[in-house]
């Protein structure tokens, strides 16, 4: 039976969006700012930050454990705050590790591994619990808009953190780097704590908030039992495959799109960098329009949310086929418009997929209090896909150039493979679900 807790209003949704922005702000410090500082300012091998970022994704395989913990505790707030604190501490330890490494001590590498493990665990605990809270407290008709709001605010958090940190770092010094990272991290934790405070007012009393190993209270399943029950749910298992394939295709383009525009179209480094801005502009527009249209009309349309997901995946595949043609034709192809279209389609499928996660996590086959572990499984699938996607795309380009000796043919094959992955994901989304999910209602078949 569903809990009678009142659904979140728009103010509550925006407050949770602030938490998502705070997570994005700290993650930017670790995966972007420190990456650049290690490689440029300290001339460390590029493989070091790349490996650390991959490690932080690997640690996020623990997401189901964090989600199950918040399911058992009945409240998500303590897990969100604890995850934010761990994430912030990890970012600060990462800077400390950089100082030890540049000082010549090998202990610094062990500290860096520990720091990025803390970052991955913090993202897993805070992010999974936040999504579970959204799934259980947002009204069905607002899920698409809530997904758009929270992800747009995450992008805003990343952008503001990057702009602020960049301005404060000049002139660069290690001491200034430590101050900036510590300041941004502390500010993000404070903002997230204030934003989430009181959101769960009226929720059931917490039970064993952080104890995952004791006997489950009130008949709650253990982690192993909950995981087996979830995996026995055909719909949840199929959706896990969809998340992995679609996010793998999404991530494969990350590291190769800018080099492609430079190598095939002769764009300068400055012009090539603008490509990322054009793509993300398309992503934001796709998210906004899907959030508005999905919440306003998705529930009335036949098939509801599935059609938005399939449309976004097919649109992404079509845009990637355009990049296949761009690789063949070269200069003269409308490459910037093509990239904007790819970003737009990516934004559509991303918001629809997140909205579907909320709907499927809220009271599935494993029970009312399974939103956390469900979000954890899908978050783990996404983390694996992101970790593999960038590496797979880059390796595929290097291997293709070595085997074929042709730059156009290599990019045609790689972009074509991404398009195929999106189409396979669309097929998975098209298969009739056990429960037809709409934006504003849920019909059990």
Can you tell me whether residue 47 is helix, strand or coil?
helix
pLDDT at position 445 is 26
Question: Rounded to whole angstroms, what are the CA distances from 341 to 137, 236, 346, 410?
Answer: 33, 30, 9, 22
Burial of 310 (0-12, 13-18, 19+ CB in 10 A): buried
Beta bridge mates, 436: 443
CB 29 within 8 A of CB 161: yes
What's the pLDDT tens digit per position in 272-324?
667 777 888 898 899 888 888 766 555 443 345 778 899 999 999 999 999 99
pLDDT at position 232 is 79
Q: Helix crossing, 335-361 with 371-404: angle to 10°?
A: 150
Please name the residue ranges forming H helices in 253-370.
257-265, 269-293, 305-329, 335-361
pLDDT at position 190 is 97
Whether the CA torsion 364, 368, 373, 376 is positive or negative: it is: positive
Spell 385-402 as b/e; 16+ CB within 10 A means b: bbbbbbbbbbebbeebee
pLDDT at position 171 is 86
The residue written with tokens 């030890």 in the block is 100
Distance separating alpha carbons of residues 2 and 12, to the nearest angstrom: 20
In the chain, how long is the greatest CA-to-CA distance? 66
Can you tell me whether residue 406 is helix, strand or coil?
coil
CB 320 within 8 A of CB 342: yes
pLDDT at position 362 is 64
What secondary structure letter does DSSP report for 41?
Answer: I
pLDDT at position 303 is 45
Distance separating alpha carbons of residues 224 and 227, to the nearest angstrom: 5
Residues of the chain with pLDDT under 70: 1-6, 74, 202-220, 269-270, 272-273, 294-304, 362-369, 432-445
Altogether, the residues listed in the chain come to a count of: 445
What secondary structure letter does DSSP report for 172?
Answer: P
Distance separating alpha carbons of residues 59 and 193, to the nearest angstrom: 24
What secondary structure letter does DSSP report for 256?
Answer: T
Distance separating alpha carbons of residues 53 and 64, to the nearest angstrom: 20
């Amino acid at each position: 039976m569903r809990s009678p807790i009142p659904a979140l209003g728009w103010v509550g949704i925006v407050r949770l969006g602030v938490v998502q922005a705070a997570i994005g702000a700290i993650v930017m410090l670790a995966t972007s700012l420190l990456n650049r500082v290690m490689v440029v300012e300290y001339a460390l091998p590029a493989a070091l930050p790349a490996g650390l970022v991959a490690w932080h994704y690997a640690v996020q395989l623990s997401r189901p454990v964090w989600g199950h913990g918040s399911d058992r505790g009945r409240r998500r707030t303590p897990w969100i705050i604890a995850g934010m604190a761990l994430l912030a501490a990890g970012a600060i330890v990462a800077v400390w590790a950089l100082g030890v490494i540049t000082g010549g001590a090998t202990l610094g590498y062990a500290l860096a591994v520990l720091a990025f493990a803390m970052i991955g665990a913090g993202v897993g605990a805070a992010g999974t619990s936040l999504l579970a809270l959204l799934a259980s407290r947002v009204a069905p008709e607002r899920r698409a808009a809530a997904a758009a709001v929270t992800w747009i605010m995450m992008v805003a958090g990343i952008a503001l953190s990057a702009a602020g940190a960049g301005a404060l770092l000049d002139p660069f010094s290690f001491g200034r780097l430590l101050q900036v990272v510590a300041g941004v991290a502390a500010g993000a934790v404070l903002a997230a704590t204030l934003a989430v405070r009181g959101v769960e007012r009226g929720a059931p009393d917490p039970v064993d908030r952080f104890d995952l190993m004791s006997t489950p209270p009130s008949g709650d399943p253990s982690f192993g039992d909950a995981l087996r029950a979830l995996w026995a749910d055909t719909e949840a298992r199929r959706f896990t495959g969809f998340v992995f394939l679609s996010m793998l295709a999404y991530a494969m383009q990350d590291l190769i799109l800018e080099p492609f525009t430079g190598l095939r179209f002769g764009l300068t480094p400055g012009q090539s960098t603008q490509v990322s801005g054009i793509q993300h502009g398309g992503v934001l527009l796709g998210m906004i329009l899907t959030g508005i249209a999905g919440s306003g009309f998705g529930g009335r349309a036949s098939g509801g949310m599935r059609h938005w997901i399939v449309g976004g995946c097919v649109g992404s595949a079509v845009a990637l086929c355009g990049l296949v043609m761009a690789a063949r034709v070269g200069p003269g192809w409308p490459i910037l418009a093509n990239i904007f279209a790819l970003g737009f389609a990516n934004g559509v499928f991303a918001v629809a997929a997140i909205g579907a996660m909320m709907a499927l996590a809220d009271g599935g086959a494993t029970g009312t209090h399974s939103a956390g572990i469900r979000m954890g499984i899908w978050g783990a699938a996404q983390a694996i896909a992101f970790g593999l996607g960038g590496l797979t795309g880059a390796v595929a380009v290097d291997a293709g150039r070595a085997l074929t000796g042709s730059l156009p043919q290599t990019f045609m094959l790689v972009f074509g493979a991404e398009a195929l992955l999106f189409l396979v994901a669309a097929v998975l989304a098209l298969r009739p679900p056990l429960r037809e999910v709409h934006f504003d209602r849920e019909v059990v078949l």
